[in-house]
Amino acid sequence: MAADKGVSPAPRAAVIGAGWAGLAAAQRLSRRGFAVTVYEASREAGGRARTVVHRTGELFPQPLDNGQHLMLGAYEQTLALMRELGAEPEARLLRTPLRLPSADGDFDLRAPRLPSPLHAAWALLSARGLTPAGRWAALRFVAGLKKLHWYPPGGATVAELVARLGQPQAVVARLWRPLCLAALNTPPDQACARLFAAVLRDSLDAPRQHSDLLFPRCDLSSLWPRAAAARHAMRYGHAVRQLTVDENAVIVDGERYDVAALATPPGVAAQLLPHHPRMCEARRAMLSFRYLPIATLTLCLAAPFPLDFPMLMLAEAPARGHLGQWVFDRGTLLGRADGRGELAVVVSAATPLLERDHAASAAALIEQLREQLCRRSGRRLPTVLGWKLLVDKRATFAATPNLFRPDNATAWPRLALCGDWTDTGYPATLEGAVRSGLRAADLLADALAQATRRNR
């Protein structure tokens, strides 16, 4: 059958990078009528939150990820995107009310199902492991941030903020430091107070369900990135080498597109970005990001070892190599049913671990688990049959104060930037990546629509 002569072909869009930002941009562009091609240098979709290939299938029958991730109920755009793709969050995520129990049993904070902000106030004032004075101090911290409209002074670090708002050392150690490391992957004496406040605002001073914890029940690539990738033309194993832009098109390695979203890490984006006087500051920012690692130690145990909660806090002792901050019950979350257990220990801001041998690091973290989990439960940790230590040396940018982050828009209406490193208002979170991708796609679609109207 002959094609209808009056029907124009769909405009073409290129997305360079198949991380969460790039795939979100691809999906939004597709919805807005574009034929999308996605370039990805690796062989897997998902970027820094994806499945990795490993050779320990007997120990870990479920795929391993390049890091253990936790989502929040406040990740509204990510949850909406999953539903749009048919990856129902209710099936792929375990949702629980906010709770932060420690592995040693000495601390437990849990939010009841009360309207906001009563749920946060109740959680802080009933936290086990803090003195009455410490509980009131924690509540005053949140109240103080709200009085500041969740916008602390520019240039302040989290350490300076907690000192200014009179937080006792015990409250900092048990509550604010672990949350800072989890949210920003940056130590409190270096971390941006404004970014930390933004995370607390959107979880504690928002609808109650925004503070819920969402635990993936499958590998991260299967959570939704593969479902998104299946809808587009994927060019896996294609590292883009050349990008040029003019008033009418974007040329990606010699192929012409109407618009393009650049969704690579910032260093790669700086290399691909064409020269333009208006982009000099953005390029400098892309090249000046400092990165911090995250390490994940996954253990295969000889017997199941279910935890009381899917995630427990760990107390650090750096001098002993006890650098873990959280332990996750992967065996229960992934439904492991072969008579073995599986735990994952997360080390944020893991720079000290880089200087150590992997075997020594694993031994110290296993010792940390044995001491603290056994103290809580009275049970012995089953024999460790094997382990896998994955270290992402460039997991996130260091979320320091006054860090300039480029906008999604560029000097060219047909080219946009996206990634968690753009100016999202959040630290390097998965939700920030998704939001940046959606905004970049909308900028491109709107720009092309305006250009089309002008040319009519």
Q: By the 8 A CB rule, do 59 and 300 touch? A: yes
Report whether pLDDT(194) > 70.
yes
pLDDT value, residue 14: 98
Residues 6+ away with beta carbon under 8 Å from 312 = 101, 102, 103, 326, 327, 373, 376
Q: By the 8 A CB rule, do 349 and 180 touch? A: no
User: In this predicted model, what pLDDT tens digit does every residue of 213-238 receive, in sequence order?
Assistant: 999 999 999 999 999 999 999 999 99
Report whether pLDDT(241) > 90.
yes
pLDDT band at 452 (very low <50, low <70, confident <90, very high): confident
pLDDT value, residue 231: 96
**CB-count burial class (<10 Å; 0-12, 13-18, 19+) for 1:** exposed
pLDDT value, residue 54: 67
The terminus-to-terminus CA distance of the chain in angstroms comes to 29
pLDDT value, residue 95: 98
Q: By the 8 A CB rule, do 258 and 13 touch? A: yes
CB atoms within 10 A of CB 144: 16
User: In this predicted model, what pLDDT tens digit does every residue of 405-416 receive, in sequence order?
Assistant: 999 999 999 999
pLDDT value, residue 56: 64
Coil, strand, or helix at residue 137? helix
User: In this predicted model, what pLDDT tens digit does every residue of 312-342 receive, in sequence order?
Assistant: 999 999 999 999 999 999 999 999 999 999 9
pLDDT value, residue 67: 86
- The upper half-sphere exposure of residue 25, i.e. CA atoms within 13 Å in the direction of its Cβ, equals 38
Q: Name the residue among 28, 24, 114, 120 with its Cα closest to residue 75.
A: 24
pLDDT band at 259 (very low <50, low <70, confident <90, very high): very high
- Edge-to-edge order in the sheet of strand 255-257: 243-245, 250-252, 255-257
3-state SS of 283-324 is HHHHHHCCEEEEEEEEEEECCCCCCCCCEEECCCEHHHCECC
pLDDT value, residue 439: 98
pLDDT value, residue 20: 97
Q: By the 8 A CB rule, do 37 and 259 touch? A: no
Q: What domains, with CATH codes, occur in the chain?
A: 12-50+219-289+405-455 (3.50.50.60), 98-211 (no CATH), 291-397 (3.90.660.20)
User: In this predicted model, what pLDDT tens digit does every residue of 10-43 receive, in sequence order?
Assistant: 999 999 999 999 999 999 999 999 999 999 999 9
User: In this predicted model, what pLDDT tens digit does every residue of 372-387 receive, in sequence order?
Assistant: 998 777 889 999 999 9
pLDDT value, residue 66: 87
pLDDT value, residue 2: 43
Q: By the 8 A CB rule, do 18 and 7 touch? A: no
**For the chain, how big is the Rg over CA atoms in Å?**
23
1-5, 65-69, 93-97, 309-313: the lowest-pLDDT one: 1-5
> In the predicted model, what is the mean pLDDT of residues 285-302?
96
Q: By the 8 A CB rule, do 303 and 341 touch? A: yes
User: In this predicted model, what pLDDT tens digit does every residue of 421-446 receive, in sequence order?
Assistant: 999 999 999 999 999 999 999 999 99
pLDDT value, residue 1: 38
User: In this predicted model, what pLDDT tens digit does every residue of 111-163 receive, in sequence order?
Assistant: 999 999 999 999 999 999 999 999 999 999 999 999 999 999 989 999 999 99
Q: By the 8 A CB rule, do 391 and 353 touch? A: yes
pLDDT band at 6 (very low <50, low <70, confident <90, very high): low
Q: By the 8 A CB rule, do 383 and 301 touch? A: yes
pLDDT value, residue 8: 72
Average pLDDT, rounded, for the chain: 94
> In the predicted model, what is the mean pLDDT of residues 247-251?
94
Q: Which residue is associated with the tokens 């405009």?
A: 11
Q: Name the residue among 158, 145, 165, 156 with its Cα closest to residue 188.
A: 158
Report whether pLDDT(5) > 60.
no
Share above pLDDT 70 across residues of the chain, in percent, rounded to a whole number: 97
Instruction: Give the rounded distance of the alpha carbon of 117 from its chain centre.
Output: 25
Query: What phi and psi values does residue 156 have, to the nearest 5 degrees?
Result: -80, 145
User: In this predicted model, what pLDDT tens digit does every residue of 37-74 receive, in sequence order?
Assistant: 999 999 999 898 888 866 666 899 888 988 888 999 99
Query: What phi and psi values does residue 126 have, to the nearest 5 degrees?
Result: -115, 10
Coil, strand, or helix at residue 211? helix
Q: Which residue is associated with the tokens 């490193």?
A: 421
